[in-house]
C-alpha cells in the first residue's frame, strides 16, 4: 500500500509548516506529502520549493491561480491517483494531526466492521480541545451501532482529515472544482455515502487551528468577506437538488430565514448581503457542473 497526504494551502505559511511537520512525524510513515499551492503570495512558494529539494517525501504542485479549496483538492486527488497511490489523506493547511492520527484511520479502515467503506474521517478538535463546530459530520440514524468499537457511522465529512482509497475515486470521480469554496467536501462525501458507508474513527484526532470556534454567521459577517458567501448559497442549492425534495424545501427555508435575520438584525450592509443570497440562489438554478471521472487505464506503469 502506498499512502499519501494531500494538503491544499493558500497564504498560511506558518500553519502549513506546522501541518507538514505533524505529517512527517506520523507513527505510520506517509510515502508522499503532496502540497497544492493555490498561487500563494506570502512566501509559501519559495519555502515549498526549497523544502521539496531537501525532503524526499514532499511534492510541491504550484498552481497558476487560486482555484479555491475545491479546485485544489480536485487537482491534488487527481495527481495522487495518477501517481498510483492507494490511499489519500485529505486536509487543509490549518489541520494539525496528532502523531497517531493516520494510524488510527488505518486501524478503522482495516476493521471488518468497515468493510467496503466509502470514507473515514477523524474527530476534529479546536485549539482548546473542544469539538470544532465547523467540522461536525451528519450522522446516520444508527450512528452508534459500532460505538463500542470507537467507530461512528456518518453521512458526510469535511476535508479536515478524511481518507479515501483509490477504488472509491475510480467509482465516484473527483470533487467538483467549480464549487471553488464551500460545500465541495459535503457534496463529495454525500455522493459517496449514497452507496458506501462513511465512518468517523473516534481515536483519530486532529486539531483545526481556526481563529474562532463558531459556525458560519452571514448576518454578522464583515464587509470584506461578504462576496464569498455567493458560493455558499449557490453550492448549497446544487447539493439540495441532487439530494431530495425535502432538501430543496429545507434550502428555501434557509434562504428565507437568512433574509429575515439580516433584515431584523443590527448588522451593516444589509442590502448587499440580501443581494448576495439572491445571486447565489439565482446562479444555483442553472449551476450543474459535471463530475470528472478518472479512468483505470490512465494509471501509469510503475
Whether the predicted pLDDT of 28 surpasses 90 = yes
Residue with cell 511537520: 21
Whether the predicted pLDDT of 300 surpasses 50 = no
The span from the CA of 133 to the CA of 287, in Å, is 28
The span from the CA of 47 to the CA of 29, in Å, is 22
pLDDT tens across 201-259, in order? 999 999 999 999 987 789 888 888 899 999 999 999 999 999 999 999 999 999 999 99
The span from the CA of 204 to the CA of 27, in Å, is 12
Q: What is the mean pLDDT of the chain?
A: 96
Of the pLDDT bands very low, low, confident and very high (cuts 50, 70, 90), residue 284 is very high
Residue 301: the pLDDT is 45
Which residues, in sequence order, are bridge partners of residue 121?
Answer: 162, 200
**CB crowding 117-141: b at 16 or more within 10 Å, else e:** bbbbbbbbbbeeeeebebbebeebe
The span from the CA of 21 to the CA of 23, in Å, is 5
* Of 275, 80, 69, nearest in space to 179 by CA: 69
Grid cell, residue 65, equals: 491561480
* CA angle in degrees (0–180, nearest 5) for 264-268-273: 80
Residue 220: the pLDDT is 85
Least confident of 28-32, 138-142, 266-270: 266-270
Residue with cell 481556526: 210
H/E element, 162: strand 162-165
Residue 299: the pLDDT is 44
Maximum pairwise Cα distance, the chain = 62
Q: How far is CA 256 from CA 196, 248, 259, 264, in A?
A: 33, 13, 5, 12
Whether the predicted pLDDT of 277 surpasses 60 = yes
CB count within 10 Å of CB 287 equals 16
DSSP assignment of 44-72 equals HHHHHHHHHHH-TTEEEEE-SS--HHHHH
The span from the CA of 182 to the CA of 176, in Å, is 11
What's the burial of 19, exposed, middle or buried (CB within 10 Å: 0-12/13-18/19+)?
Answer: buried
Question: What is the value of pTM for the model shown?
Answer: 0.95
Whether the predicted pLDDT of 297 surpasses 70 = no
CB count within 10 Å of CB 279 equals 15
Q: How far is CA 277 from CA 185, 191, 230, 274, in A?
A: 21, 25, 6, 5
What's the burial of 89, exposed, middle or buried (CB within 10 Å: 0-12/13-18/19+)?
Answer: buried
* Of 186, 34, 161, 19, nearest in space to 91 by CA: 161
Amino acid at each position: 500500500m502506498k499512502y499519501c497526504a494531500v494538503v491544499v494551502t493558500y497564504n498560511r505559511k506558518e500553519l502549513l509548516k506546522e501541518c507538514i511537520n505533524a505529517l512527517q512525524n506520523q507513527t505510520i510513515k506517509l510515502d508522499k506529502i503532496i502540497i497544492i499551492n493555490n498561487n500563494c503570495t506570502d512566501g509559501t512558494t519559495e519555502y515549498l520549493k526549497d523544502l521539496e529539494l531537501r525532503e524526499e517525501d514532499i511534492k510541491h504542485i504550484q498552481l497558476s491561480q487560486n482555484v479555491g479549496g475545491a479546485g485544489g483538492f480536485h487537482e491534488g486527488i487527481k495527481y495522487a491517483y495518477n501517481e498510483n497511490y492507494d490511499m489519500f489523506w485529505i486536509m487543509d493547511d490549518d489541520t494539525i494531526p496528532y502523531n497517531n492520527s493516520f494510524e488510527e484511520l488505518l486501524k478503522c479502515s482495516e476493521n471488518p466492521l468497515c468493510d467496503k467503506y466509502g470514507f473515514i474521517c477523524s474527530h476534529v478538535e479546536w485549539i482548546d480541545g473542544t469539538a470544532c463546530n465547523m467540522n461536525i459530520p451528519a450522522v446516520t440514524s444508527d450512528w452508534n451501532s459500532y460505538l463500542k468499537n470507537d467507530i461512528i457511522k456518518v453521512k458526510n465529512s469535511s476535508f479536515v482529515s478524511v481518507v479515501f482509497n483509490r477504488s472509491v475515486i475510480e467509482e465516484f470521480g473527483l470533487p467538483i472544482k467549480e464549487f471553488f469554496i464551500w460545500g465541495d467536501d459535503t457534496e463529495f462525501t454525500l455522493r459517496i455515502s449514497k452507496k458506501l458507508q462513511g465512518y468517523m474513527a473516534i481515536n483519530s484526532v486532529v486539531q483545526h487551528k481556526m481563529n474562532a470556534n463558531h459556525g458560519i454567521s452571514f448576518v454578522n459577517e464583515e464587509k470584506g468577506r461578504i462576496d464569498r458567501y455567493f458560493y455558499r448559497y449557490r453550492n448549497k442549492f446544487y447539493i439540495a437538488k441532487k439530494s431530495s425534495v425535502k432538501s430543496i424545501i429545507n434550502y428555501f427555508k434557509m434562504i428565507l430565514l437568512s433574509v429575515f435575520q439580516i433584515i431584523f438584525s443590527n448588522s451593516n450592509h444589509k442590502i448587499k448581503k440580501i443581494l448576495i443570497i439572491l445571486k447565489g440562489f439565482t446562479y444555483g438554478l442553472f449551476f450543474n457542473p459535471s463530475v470528472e471521472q478518472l479512468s483505470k487505464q490512465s494509471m501509469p506503469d510503475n
